[in-house]
């Protein structure tokens, strides 16, 4: 399961980890059926302070949703506070989780290689 793999690879003790059956923000496929949704591995939610990243394996992709400050009064007030996308490998997912959770930069300044806003970003 993705949760166990991420916990082992990250090794960050202060990160709170939970799961949900699926995370709608990363299930963006219009043709996804409820049977397919029910068959997904759970989405993994990782929180560190007010920073959050959710990772879920969907249709062979490791998709993510990250937020720099998930307090409701902040999320709507900051332009560069959230990002949806996918990474090409598990090691990229781990790198993105580390960089986002332990850093203090907005999504646009992250250097981990990933697909966001319909294009390849990061190094």
Res 123: pLDDT: 79
SS3 content of the chain, % helix, strand, coil (to 5): 30, 30, 40
CB 67 within 8 Å of CB 81: yes
The domains of the chain are located at 2-111
Pairing of strands 16-20, 114-116: unpaired
Gap between the Cα atoms of 41 and 27, Å rounded: 12
Residue 42 has phi, psi (to 5 degrees) of -60, 150
Res 92: pLDDT: 97
3-state DSSP assignment of residue 82? strand
Phi-psi region of 117 (alpha: psi -120 to 50; beta: other; left: phi over 0): left
Res 93: pLDDT: 96
- pLDDT tens by residue, 4-26: 898 889 888 778 999 999 888 88
For the chain, the residue count is: 123
Phi-psi region of 6 (alpha: psi -120 to 50; beta: other; left: phi over 0): alpha
Res 35: pLDDT: 93
Q: pLDDT tens digits for the chain (123 residues)?
A: 888 898 889 888 778 999 999 888 888 888 989 999 889 999 999 999 889 999 999 999 999 999 887 766 655 555 567 899 999 999 999 999 999 999 988 898 999 999 998 899 997
């Amino acid at each position: 399961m993705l949760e166990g793999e991420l916990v082992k690879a990250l090794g960050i003790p202060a990160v709170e980890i939970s799961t949900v059956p699926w995370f709608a923000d990363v299930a963006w496929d219009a043709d996804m059926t409820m049977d397919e949704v029910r068959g997904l591995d759970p989405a993994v939610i990782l929180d560190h302070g007010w920073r959050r990243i959710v990772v879920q394996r969907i249709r062979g992709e490791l998709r993510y949703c990250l937020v720099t400050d998930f307090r409701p009064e902040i999320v709507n007030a900051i332009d560069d506070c959230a990002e949806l996308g996918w990474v090409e490998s598990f090691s990229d997912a781990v790198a993105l989780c580390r960089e986002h959770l332990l850093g203090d930069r907005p999504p646009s300044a992250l250097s981990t290689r990933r697909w966001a806003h319909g294009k390849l970003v990061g190094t």
